[in-house]
Amino acid sequence: MPSLQKIDDYRWRLPRSGDMLVDGVVYADQELVDALERDGTLKQLGGVASLPGIVGPALAMPDAHQGYGFPIGGVAAFDPRVGIVSPGGVGYDINCGVRLLRSKLAAGELGPKRLGELADALLASIPAGVGVGSQKRLSEKELSRIMQQGAAWAVSQGQGTTGDLDFCESGGVLPGADPAAVSDRAVKRGRGQAGSLGAGNHFLELAEVAEVFDAGAANAFGLEPGMLVLWVHSGSRGLGHQVCDDYLRRLNQDPDALRPADRQLIAAPADSPVGRDYLAAMAAAANFAFNNRQLLSEACRRVIGRVLGLGPAGLGMGLVYDVAHNVAKRERHAVEGKQRELMVHRKGATRALGPGHGDLPPRYAKAGQPVLVPGDMGTASYVLKGTARAMADTFASAAHGAGRAMSRTKAKKAARGRDLRAELAANQVIVRAASGKTLAEEMPEAYKDIDRVARVMHHSGIATLVARTRPLAVVKG
């Protein structure tokens, strides 16, 4: 690959070469660039830039690292008339995403004992862990409705309010979902997993708003210093994983498939039969994930209220926003001064709409979209806001988290002989986990510096700082 060319302190160009049809652009500072050059991220970005129908540069966000096909933290837009859709550009955990809920509570009023009780109750009440399902097994009819309706299905069952849907990306549902495009195997896996957290990097986190940078935007988002907030991070569980697996297998046998040099980038024309089927199945899995986070947040509301002896009004846990990470969506963006419909792949990246965009709820129209960027279980998380710069330069996209700096295997080796719970407790972070293995894989050193990632976005202008939260109690699968 050619060497990166510095544009400014926070942007770098991967110049077009070989089969690349467009340049790549990397959002990073020097330290993050040094890390990228030690793994396969830039090579993968060059592969993305070689895919047919790509429009504008292939992008890597400041949390980028090597993934399957596309780098995680990768963004690319394609002309749906002549371009492609790629399961590797979405990932296995379709619509892995995060939501943030505010409360009426002051975090400082909850001491370690009460926080520990809350963490224990959440772990006992919320299904979490590898392969752990929910307490209710859905009928196929119920699951079909979830795959079509997304978070609205949970609301129709009394799990939240219609107001929650106003603060979900795309209203908590992607159009075009077709349960018939989802395999029986995927359906079987999904029937028992609605309302479950999963494992890996998924978590529930009670946190305190530690610092506000933009008082106007924070006020619009309903955030105040000292406030107790809840982060919820989960996705489409086994259903989404199976959809990805099914369509990678089908593409490898389909005559319409496009087979680049990197086999992990296998793709299909967006308007081919297999391309249309994948998009319909992906949307169904994404809707399962929207519904899953709605069920999880409502379950958390009940548990927290029960432990603290508060009703919904006293608790006041309102949804700030819910964003998807791993999806491909048809969106309209300005390209060389003209509005065009594009198929935008965001893999380990989040949407970041700027002020005035028509898809924003009225409350956020002036500020821009909340951009939710969780850190690891021992460090800060950030709320930023989308910008006009993001809409112009990154197809309204920003980073989705800290990004891994260490593989899970390396993290487990590095954690040997350490008491991670005690280390985190010494930093005033209570952790509860269904598995010690998960704690090792998700140790703080396994991730990039979230403060650095947030600064890059802020100074490059693709998302600007609104607030920082610090973890108080974390629940992992």
The set of catalytic residues is 400
Which residue from 256, 247, 319, 308 is spatially nearest to 94, judged by alpha carbons? 247
144, 190 Cβ separation under 8 angstroms? no
Which residue from 407, 473, 393 is spatially nearest to 443, judged by alpha carbons? 407
97, 374 Cβ separation under 8 angstroms? no
Number of other residues whose CB lies within 10 A of the CB of residue 309:
7
CA 411 vs. chain centroid, Å, equals 21
Angle subtended by helix axes 140-149 and 184-191, to nearest 10:
100
223, 466 Cβ separation under 8 angstroms? yes
Q: For 265-296, give the DSSP string.
A: G-BEETTSHHHHHHHHHHHHHHHHHHHHHHHH
Helix (H, G, I), strand (E, B) or coil at 306: helix
279, 286 Cβ separation under 8 angstroms? no
Q: What is the dihedral of CA 351, 356, 360, 366, to 10 degrees?
A: 100
Number of other residues whose CB lies within 10 A of the CB of residue 134:
20
Angstrom distance (rounded) from CA 203 to CA 197: 7
Side-chain-facing half-sphere of 345: CA atoms under 13 Å: 39
CA 233 vs. chain centroid, Å, equals 8
Scored b (16 or more CB within 10 A) or e, 372-381 reads bbbbbbbbbb
Angstrom distance (rounded) from CA 442 to CA 401: 13
- In the structure encoding, which two tokens stand for residue 393, read together? 């330069």
Query: Which residues are within 8 A (CB) of 265 and not within 5 positions of it... i.e. 6 or more apart?
Result: 47, 48, 51, 69, 70, 86, 88, 89
Beta bridge partners of 331: 342
Number of other residues whose CB lies within 10 A of the CB of residue 46:
22
Helix (H, G, I), strand (E, B) or coil at 420: helix
